Amino acid sequence: MIQDVLKLIEEKESLKNKLETVSNELKDAVNNLDLNEFDNYDYESARHLSAQVQYLIDDERGKRLSDIVAAKKVLKYPQLLKPTYYPEIDTLNISDEEKLRLDKAAYMNIRYYMSVDNLDRLEYKISIEDLELLKSIGVAEKRYSFRCKECGDSCITISESDLEKYKRVFKLEGMGNSLTDELEKEFDELYEQGFCCISICCMECDFDYEITNQKVLDDYRSHMKELYKVVKNPDLTFEKL
Protein backbone atom coordinates (compact mmCIF):
# COMPACT_ATOMS: atom_id res chain seq x y z
CA MET A 1 0.00 0.00 0.00
CA ILE A 2 1.10 3.54 -0.72
CA GLN A 3 0.59 4.41 2.92
CA ASP A 4 3.17 1.80 3.92
CA VAL A 5 5.66 3.07 1.38
CA LEU A 6 5.24 6.66 2.56
CA LYS A 7 5.66 5.57 6.15
CA LEU A 8 8.87 3.72 5.37
CA ILE A 9 10.26 6.68 3.42
CA GLU A 10 9.56 8.91 6.40
CA GLU A 11 11.19 6.43 8.77
CA LYS A 12 14.26 6.16 6.54
CA GLU A 13 14.62 9.96 6.45
CA SER A 14 14.30 10.13 10.21
CA LEU A 15 17.00 7.44 10.70
CA LYS A 16 19.27 9.23 8.24
CA ASN A 17 18.97 12.43 10.29
CA LYS A 18 19.54 10.52 13.50
CA LEU A 19 22.65 8.85 12.01
CA GLU A 20 24.04 12.22 11.02
CA THR A 21 23.46 13.59 14.53
CA VAL A 22 25.14 10.59 16.16
CA SER A 23 28.07 10.80 13.73
CA ASN A 24 28.61 14.44 14.63
CA GLU A 25 28.34 13.65 18.34
CA LEU A 26 30.85 10.83 17.94
CA LYS A 27 33.26 13.11 16.11
CA ASP A 28 33.00 15.73 18.86
CA ALA A 29 33.38 13.12 21.58
CA VAL A 30 36.49 11.64 19.97
CA ASN A 31 38.08 15.01 19.38
CA ASN A 32 37.43 16.07 22.98
CA LEU A 33 38.57 12.76 24.43
CA ASP A 34 41.36 12.91 26.99
CA LEU A 35 43.91 10.55 25.40
CA ASN A 36 45.35 9.80 28.86
CA GLU A 37 42.30 7.64 29.42
CA PHE A 38 43.96 5.08 27.16
CA ASP A 39 46.41 4.40 30.00
CA ASN A 40 43.79 2.10 31.51
CA TYR A 41 43.29 0.06 28.36
CA ASP A 42 45.35 -2.83 27.05
CA TYR A 43 46.97 -2.88 23.62
CA GLU A 44 44.20 -4.80 21.82
CA SER A 45 41.39 -2.55 23.09
CA ALA A 46 43.37 0.60 22.32
CA ARG A 47 44.22 -0.64 18.82
CA HIS A 48 40.62 -1.59 18.13
CA LEU A 49 39.23 1.77 19.25
CA SER A 50 41.98 3.66 17.45
CA ALA A 51 41.24 1.88 14.17
CA GLN A 52 37.58 2.81 14.45
CA VAL A 53 38.07 6.50 15.15
CA GLN A 54 41.25 7.39 13.21
CA TYR A 55 39.26 8.74 10.27
CA LEU A 56 37.24 11.05 12.52
CA ILE A 57 40.08 12.93 14.15
CA ASP A 58 42.55 15.50 12.96
CA ASP A 59 46.07 14.53 11.89
CA GLU A 60 47.85 15.66 15.02
CA ARG A 61 45.53 13.80 17.38
CA GLY A 62 45.59 10.82 15.06
CA LYS A 63 49.37 10.76 15.27
CA ARG A 64 49.29 10.95 19.09
CA LEU A 65 46.79 8.13 19.23
CA SER A 66 48.93 6.00 16.89
CA ASP A 67 51.93 6.68 19.12
CA ILE A 68 50.00 5.59 22.22
CA VAL A 69 48.94 2.36 20.52
CA ALA A 70 52.50 1.76 19.26
CA ALA A 71 53.89 2.26 22.77
CA LYS A 72 51.39 -0.24 24.16
CA LYS A 73 52.40 -2.72 21.48
CA VAL A 74 56.08 -2.42 22.46
CA LEU A 75 55.16 -2.95 26.13
CA LYS A 76 53.33 -6.12 25.19
CA TYR A 77 55.95 -7.31 22.68
CA PRO A 78 59.41 -6.17 23.86
CA GLN A 79 60.87 -7.88 20.77
CA LEU A 80 59.83 -4.69 18.95
CA LEU A 81 62.71 -2.88 20.66
CA LYS A 82 64.87 -4.68 18.09
CA PRO A 83 64.50 -4.70 14.30
CA THR A 84 61.81 -7.21 13.35
CA TYR A 85 61.16 -6.73 9.63
CA TYR A 86 64.82 -7.43 8.93
CA PRO A 87 66.37 -8.95 12.08
CA GLU A 88 69.85 -8.95 10.47
CA ILE A 89 69.89 -5.15 10.91
CA ASP A 90 70.66 -5.93 14.56
CA THR A 91 74.14 -7.08 13.51
CA LEU A 92 75.06 -3.60 12.20
CA ASN A 93 77.29 -1.42 14.27
CA ILE A 94 74.81 1.43 14.80
CA SER A 95 72.69 2.58 17.76
CA ASP A 96 69.49 0.75 18.71
CA GLU A 97 67.48 3.79 17.71
CA GLU A 98 69.14 3.85 14.29
CA LYS A 99 68.49 0.13 13.85
CA LEU A 100 64.76 0.63 14.41
CA ARG A 101 64.70 3.61 12.05
CA LEU A 102 66.55 1.67 9.35
CA ASP A 103 64.31 -1.37 9.81
CA LYS A 104 61.21 0.72 9.25
CA ALA A 105 62.76 2.75 6.41
CA ALA A 106 63.63 -0.44 4.52
CA TYR A 107 60.13 -1.84 4.99
CA MET A 108 58.33 1.38 4.08
CA ASN A 109 60.29 1.78 0.83
CA ILE A 110 60.22 -1.83 -0.30
CA ARG A 111 58.33 -1.06 -3.50
CA TYR A 112 60.67 1.62 -4.83
CA TYR A 113 63.71 1.83 -7.03
CA MET A 114 65.71 4.44 -5.16
CA SER A 115 68.41 6.75 -6.45
CA VAL A 116 69.91 10.12 -5.53
CA ASP A 117 67.29 11.65 -7.81
CA ASN A 118 64.20 10.49 -5.96
CA LEU A 119 65.24 10.05 -2.31
CA ASP A 120 63.88 13.45 -1.29
CA ARG A 121 60.47 12.56 -2.70
CA LEU A 122 60.06 9.47 -0.52
CA GLU A 123 57.50 9.80 2.21
CA TYR A 124 59.58 7.76 4.63
CA LYS A 125 63.13 9.09 4.44
CA ILE A 126 66.14 6.93 3.67
CA SER A 127 69.66 7.90 2.60
CA ILE A 128 72.28 6.40 0.29
CA GLU A 129 74.33 5.55 3.42
CA ASP A 130 71.30 3.69 4.81
CA LEU A 131 70.90 1.81 1.54
CA GLU A 132 74.59 0.90 1.50
CA LEU A 133 74.21 -0.50 5.04
CA LEU A 134 71.18 -2.51 3.92
CA LYS A 135 73.15 -3.73 0.92
CA SER A 136 75.98 -4.93 3.18
CA ILE A 137 73.62 -7.38 4.90
CA GLY A 138 71.78 -8.52 1.77
CA VAL A 139 68.54 -6.67 2.50
CA ALA A 140 68.99 -4.25 -0.41
CA GLU A 141 70.67 -4.60 -3.76
CA LYS A 142 72.43 -2.06 -5.92
CA ARG A 143 71.70 -2.06 -9.62
CA TYR A 144 72.95 -0.15 -12.62
CA SER A 145 70.56 1.13 -15.18
CA PHE A 146 72.22 1.56 -18.58
CA ARG A 147 70.69 4.50 -20.44
CA CYS A 148 70.38 4.99 -24.16
CA LYS A 149 73.04 7.46 -25.30
CA GLU A 150 70.54 9.05 -27.68
CA CYS A 151 67.29 9.45 -25.74
CA GLY A 152 68.25 8.60 -22.15
CA ASP A 153 65.71 5.80 -21.73
CA SER A 154 66.69 2.89 -19.54
CA CYS A 155 67.69 -0.02 -21.78
CA ILE A 156 68.95 -2.65 -19.36
CA THR A 157 69.40 -2.96 -15.61
CA ILE A 158 72.18 -5.08 -14.17
CA SER A 159 72.75 -5.88 -10.51
CA GLU A 160 76.03 -4.85 -8.95
CA SER A 161 76.96 -8.49 -8.36
CA ASP A 162 76.35 -9.36 -12.02
CA LEU A 163 78.29 -6.32 -13.18
CA GLU A 164 81.21 -7.58 -11.09
CA LYS A 165 81.10 -10.80 -13.10
CA TYR A 166 81.25 -8.89 -16.40
CA LYS A 167 84.17 -6.90 -15.05
CA ARG A 168 85.90 -10.11 -14.02
CA VAL A 169 85.47 -11.48 -17.56
CA PHE A 170 86.89 -8.25 -19.04
CA LYS A 171 89.85 -8.52 -16.69
CA LEU A 172 90.56 -12.16 -17.43
CA GLU A 173 90.13 -11.51 -21.14
CA GLY A 174 92.68 -8.73 -20.91
CA MET A 175 95.23 -11.12 -19.43
CA GLY A 176 95.39 -12.94 -22.73
CA ASN A 177 97.43 -16.14 -22.76
CA SER A 178 98.82 -15.77 -19.27
CA LEU A 179 95.78 -17.37 -17.61
CA THR A 180 96.44 -20.28 -15.30
CA ASP A 181 94.26 -23.36 -15.66
CA GLU A 182 92.25 -22.24 -12.68
CA LEU A 183 91.62 -18.76 -14.12
CA GLU A 184 90.85 -20.28 -17.51
CA LYS A 185 88.19 -22.42 -15.84
CA GLU A 186 86.72 -19.42 -14.04
CA PHE A 187 86.65 -17.48 -17.31
CA ASP A 188 84.92 -20.32 -19.18
CA GLU A 189 82.31 -20.68 -16.50
CA LEU A 190 81.45 -16.99 -16.44
CA TYR A 191 81.40 -16.92 -20.23
CA GLU A 192 79.02 -19.84 -20.34
CA GLN A 193 76.77 -18.11 -17.85
CA GLY A 194 76.48 -15.29 -20.36
CA PHE A 195 78.75 -12.68 -18.80
CA CYS A 196 80.66 -12.04 -22.01
CA CYS A 197 79.33 -8.70 -23.17
CA ILE A 198 76.73 -6.15 -22.11
CA SER A 199 74.26 -5.49 -24.90
CA ILE A 200 72.44 -2.21 -24.79
CA CYS A 201 69.69 -1.63 -27.28
CA CYS A 202 67.02 1.02 -27.27
CA MET A 203 63.61 0.20 -28.70
CA GLU A 204 62.88 3.90 -29.14
CA CYS A 205 65.71 4.99 -31.36
CA ASP A 206 67.42 1.87 -32.73
CA PHE A 207 70.44 2.57 -30.59
CA ASP A 208 72.57 -0.56 -30.37
CA TYR A 209 75.73 -0.81 -28.35
CA GLU A 210 77.99 -3.47 -26.94
CA ILE A 211 80.28 -3.21 -23.96
CA THR A 212 83.04 -5.74 -24.33
CA ASN A 213 85.84 -4.37 -22.16
CA GLN A 214 86.56 -2.30 -19.06
CA LYS A 215 87.54 0.82 -20.99
CA VAL A 216 84.23 0.94 -22.88
CA LEU A 217 82.40 0.28 -19.62
CA ASP A 218 84.25 3.16 -17.92
CA ASP A 219 83.38 5.43 -20.83
CA TYR A 220 79.72 4.52 -20.45
CA ARG A 221 79.62 5.64 -16.78
CA SER A 222 77.90 8.94 -17.47
CA HIS A 223 74.98 7.05 -19.01
CA MET A 224 74.65 4.66 -16.10
CA LYS A 225 72.44 5.33 -13.13
CA GLU A 226 72.81 3.73 -9.72
CA LEU A 227 69.62 2.36 -8.25
CA TYR A 228 68.87 0.63 -4.97
CA LYS A 229 66.08 -1.78 -4.27
CA VAL A 230 65.09 -3.59 -1.09
CA VAL A 231 65.12 -7.20 -2.26
CA LYS A 232 64.54 -9.23 0.87
CA ASN A 233 61.03 -10.11 1.98
CA PRO A 234 60.27 -8.61 5.38
CA ASP A 235 59.26 -10.70 8.37
CA LEU A 236 55.72 -9.52 9.08
CA THR A 237 55.12 -11.54 12.25
CA PHE A 238 54.71 -8.47 14.42
CA GLU A 239 52.92 -6.45 11.78
CA LYS A 240 49.99 -8.83 12.03
CA LEU A 241 49.68 -8.65 15.82
Minimum distance of Zn ion from residue 214's CB (angstroms): 24
- Among 55-63, 73-81, 143-151, 181-189, which window interacts with Zn ion (CB under 5 A)? 143-151
Q: Among residue numbers 145 through 204, which ones bind Zn ion (CB under 5 A)? A: 148, 150-151, 153, 202, 204
Minimum distance of Zn ion from residue 200's CB (angstroms): 10
Contact between 205 and Zn ion per CB under 5 A? yes
Q: Which is nearer to Zn ion, 153 or 184 (CB)?
A: 153
Full DSSP string of the chain:
-HHHHHHHHHHHHHHHHHHHHHHHHHHHHHHH--GGGGGGS-HHHHHHHHHHHGGGS-HHHHHHHHHHHHHHHHHH-GGGGS--SSGGGGGSSS-HHHHHHHHHHHHHTTT--B-TTTGGG-SS---HHHHHHHHHTTSEEEEEEEEPTTT--EEEEEEHHHHHHHHHHHHHHHTGGG--HHHHHHHHHHHHTTTT-EEEE-TTT--EEEE-SHHHHHHHGGGEEEEEEE-SPPP-TTTT-
Minimum distance of Zn ion from residue 148's CB (angstroms): 3
Q: How many residues bind Zn ion (CB under 5 A)?
A: 8
Q: Which is nearer to Zn ion, 100 or 198 (CB)?
A: 198
Minimum distance of Zn ion from residue 184's CB (angstroms): 38
Q: Which is nearer to Zn ion, 19 or 151 (CB)?
A: 151
Q: Which is nearer to Zn ion, 114 or 148 (CB)?
A: 148
Q: Among residue numbers 13 through 52, which ones bind Zn ion (CB under 5 A)? A: none
Minimum distance of Zn ion from residue 114's CB (angstroms): 24
Chain residues binding Zn ion by CB under 5 A are 148, 150-151, 153, 202, 204-205, 207
